[in-house]
Amino acid sequence: MTTTRPDTKTALARLLTEIEHRNPAQPEFHQAAREVLETLAPVLAARPEYAEPGLVERLVEPERQVVFRVPWQDDRGRVHVNRGFRVEFNSALGPYKGGLRFHPSVNLGVIKFLGFEQIFKNALTGLGIGGGKGGSDFDPRGRSDAEVMRFCQSFMTELYRHIGEHTDVPAGDIGVGGREIGYLFGQYRRITNRWEAGVLTGKGAGWGGSLIRPEATGYGNVLFAAAMLRERGEDLEGQTTVVSGSGNVAIYTIEKLIALGANPVTCSDSSGYVVDEKGIDVDLLKQVKEVERGRVDTYAERRGASARFVPGGRVWEVPADVALPSATQNELDAQDAAALVRNGVKAVSEGANMPATPDAVHLLQQAGVAFGPGKAANAGGVAVSALEMAQNHARTSWPAARVEDELAAIMTSIHTTCHETATRYGTPGDYVTGANIAGFERVADAMLAQGVI
């Protein structure tokens, strides 16, 4: 085990204070930076060259931050003005890569937290992609297709200046699915007069998208959870699981859990959660959420006696062997973690970005629960996005089986890397430390090689 020099910890603490001072009122970014920096002292002590050129100081400062106005008209002719963001955080390993989020909660701090996480997540895939993120405080819920189209066209009219297949490649995230990606791509093509398929990922399979991309984040998270259980001599088959959310990530998490023999019994949205004693009917959930854009109480009504809707409840109060938070940041707090531990949870794997609070993570780790951090566990989405980029460059399309095999290999590699790195630095079983250090080392080596830029 590496002995950490006191001055290393002091320098990191001083940097955290500076980050909070320079980025006021951005608690999510502060949280993400703290979670990473608090694990880096051992690697900085072991490899002092990382501390010499102000490398960590450059890593926590985005290379570029773009904020812009997005005016658009609703169906009644009323003009609305939203705010758009793109934070291009680090391109040492390749073009910036990260999704676009359309949600009222979006602000610069949220986008910076997501972009910072993306640096390490993308590095862990082993693929040539840097870290970035973007979005808007626009809410697509309740809006017509025509209104969403007009917003996306206005958004891309500014964003197109900053992206490109060799520069920055956005994808989807919360509030940005196939419909939104289609409108965004159409406007990019209209403005630039280029069929540049690699500029956006998450496209339709018939016009440059990759098979398995919609499923990738959820599938990958389940594969990571399964790998953590195997490390402990267990298997997912027969395990009762709780999943939060009912969007893309949650739906395909549930689908993969069922395929591997587990029993997912919950889903949720902002109105509350459903617990289904027979296990979630994924086809019914897809119909309600993806086709009808309805709420989970509708699922419960149609499912019958086995399902009940709990308005405003916390999905984590349902007893389970494995928990997969798949909704949004900070959705699982210390009280929720305590409930999971009391009910005998064995593993928690993050499908969303930073869904567990720091106190919750600490409590779960102290209780001996296998904990998979989002930057490792949910990297399957961006991994298949990078595979989509590869298909676009070759003007080809891979069969679903090949993409799924590639995804499985990448998730296995990420688990192995995190596990071995944690052991190498004296914290066996700590996937948070393993993910942070492994991602950091890959990015840091590239930054050192490329000079102070």
Sign of CA dihedral 150, 155, 159, 161: positive
Choose the final residue of a domain: 377, 409, 436: 377
- Indicate if 222 and 350 belong to the same structural domain: yes
Q: pLDDT tier at 3 (50, 70, 90 boundaries)?
A: very low
Please check whether residue 39 lies inside any domain of the structure: yes
Q: Are 330 and 362 in a shared domain? A: yes
Task: Give the number of domains in the chain.
Answer: 3
Per-residue pLDDT, averaged over 58-82, amounts to: 98
In a shared domain, residues 224 and 365: yes
**Mean pLDDT of the chain, nearest integer:** 96
CATH number of the domain to which 304 belongs: 3.40.50.720
Q: What is the model's pLDDT at position 176?
A: 95
Domain-ending residue, one of 377, 405, 422: 377
The whole-number pLDDT of residue 285 equals: 98
What are the residue numbers of the active site?
133
**What HEC string does the chain produce?**
CCCCCHHHHHHHHHHHHHHHHHCCCCHHHHHHHHHHHCCCHHHHHHCHHHCCCCHHHHHCCCCEEEEEEEEEECCCCCEEEEEEEEEEEECCCCCEEEEEEECCCCCHHHHHHHHHHHHHHHHHCCCCCEEEEEEECCCCCCCCHHHHHHHHHHHHHHHHHHCECCCEEEECECCECHHHHHHHHHHHHHHHCCCCHHHCCCCCHHHCCCCCCCCHHHHHHHHHHHHHHHHCCCCCCCCEEEECCCCHHHHHHHHHHHHCCCEECEEEECCEEEEECCCCCHHHHHHHHHHCCCCHHHHHHHHCCCEEEEECCCHHHCCCCEEECCCCCCCECHHHHHHHHHCCCCEEECCCCCCECHHHHHHHHHCCCEEECHHHHCCHHHHHHHHHHHHHHHCCCCCHHHHHHHHHHHHHHHHHHHHHHHHHCCCCCCHHHHHHHHHHHHHHHHHHHHCCC
pLDDT grade, residue 52 (50/70/90)? confident
Q: What percent of the chain has a predicted confidence (pLDDT) above 70?
A: 99
Residue span of the structural domain in which 112 resides: 64-195
Average pLDDT over residues 372-397: 97
Output the pLDDT for position 351.
98
Does residue 39 register a pLDDT over 70? yes
What pLDDT, on a 0 to 100 scale, did the predictor assign at position 334?
98
Q: What is the pLDDT at residue 2? A: 44
Query: Is residue 201 one of the residues assigned to a domain?
Result: no
**What is the reported pLDDT for 393?**
95
pLDDT value at 8 more than 90: no
**CB-CB neighbours of 174 under 10 Å:** 24
Are 245 and 162 part of one and the same domain?
no
| Residue range 292-340, pLDDT digits in tens | 989 999 999 999 999 999 999 899 999 999 999 999 999 999 999 999 9
Q: Is residue 104 part of a domain?
A: yes
pLDDT-based confidence at residue 381 (cuts at 50, 70, 90):
very high
Specify the pLDDT at position 154.
98
What confidence score (pLDDT) does residue 193 get?
98
Percent of the chain with pLDDT over 90: 97
Q: How confident is the model at residue 9 (pLDDT cuts 50, 70, 90)?
A: confident
116-142 pLDDT, tens digit per residue, is: 999 999 999 999 999 999 999 999 999
Whole-number pLDDT of residue 261: 98
The answer to whether residues 333 and 186 belong to one domain is no
Check whether residue 85 and residue 177 sit in a common domain: yes
Q: In terms of domains, do 222 and 348 share one?
A: yes
Claim to verify: residue 25 and residue 128 sit in the same structural domain: no
Q: Could you tell me if residue 25 is inside a domain?
A: yes
Task: Write down which residue in 362, 377, 392 finishes a domain.
Answer: 377
Please tell me whether residues 69 and 52 are part of one structural domain. Answer: no
The backbone region for 279, taken as left when phi is positive above 0, alpha when psi lies in -120 to 50, beta otherwise, is left
> What is the model's pLDDT at position 158?
98
Residue type, 302: R
What's the whole-model pTM score? 0.94
| Domain-embedded: residue 423 | no
d(CA 245, CA 231): 27
**Domain co-membership, 244 together with 365:** yes
pLDDT of residue 412 exceeding 90, the answer is yes
Residue 5, pLDDT > 80, answer no
Q: How many whole angstroms separate alpha carbon 47 and alpha carbon 273?
A: 47
- Do residues 87 and 52 share a domain? no
Q: Which pLDDT belongs to residue 1?
A: 40
> What is the rounded CA–CA span in Å between residue 221 and residue 188?
31
- Identify whether 206 is part of a domain: no
- The confidence score (pLDDT) of residue 7 equals 78
Residue 77 counted as domain residue: yes
Q: Tell me, yes or no, whether 445 lies in a domain.
A: no
Question: In this structure, are 231 and 244 located in the same domain?
Answer: yes
